[in-house]
Chains A and B, each alone.
Chain A
Amino acid sequence: EVQLVESGGGLVQPGGSLRLSCAASGFTFSNYWMHWVRQAPGKGLVWVSHIEIGGNNTTYADSVKGRFTISRDNAKNTLYLQMNSLRVEDTAVYYCARESADSFDLWGRGTLVTVSS
Chain B
Amino acid sequence: SYELTQPPSVSVSPGQTASITCSGDKLGEKHACWYLRKPGQSPVLVIYQDTKRPSGIPERFSGSNSGNTATLTISGTQAMDEADYYCQAWDSSTVVFGAGTKLTVL
Contacts and interface: CB of A to CB of B under 8 A. Distances in A.
Contacts of A100: 48
Contacts of A62: 1
B86 A44 contact: yes
A61 B54 contact: no
B35 A45 contact: yes
Contact of A46 (B1, B42, B52, B97): B97
Nearest to A104: B45
Nearest to B96: A47
Contacts of B33: 102-104
Nearest to A108: B42
Nearest to A93: B42
B45 to A, nearest CB: 5
Interface in B30-86: 31, 33, 35, 37, 42-45, 48-49, 52, 54, 84, 86
Interface in A42-67: 44-47, 50, 59, 61-62
A97 B37 CA distance: 14
B8 to A, nearest CB: 10
Interface string A83-104: 0000000000001010011111
26 contacts: A35-B95, A37-B43, A37-B95, A44-B86, A45-B88, A45-B100, A46-B97, A47-B94, A59-B94, A95-B42, A97-B43, A101-B31, A101-B52, A102-B49, A102-B90, A103-B33, A103-B49, A104-B33, A104-B35, A104-B43, A105-B45, A105-B48, A105-B54, A107-B42, A107-B43, A107-B44
Given A44-B100, A104-B35, 4 more contacts: A45-B86, A61-B94, A103-B88, A104-B88
Question: 4 tightest CB-CB pairs across the interface, nearest first?
Answer: A47-B95, A103-B33, A103-B48, A44-B100
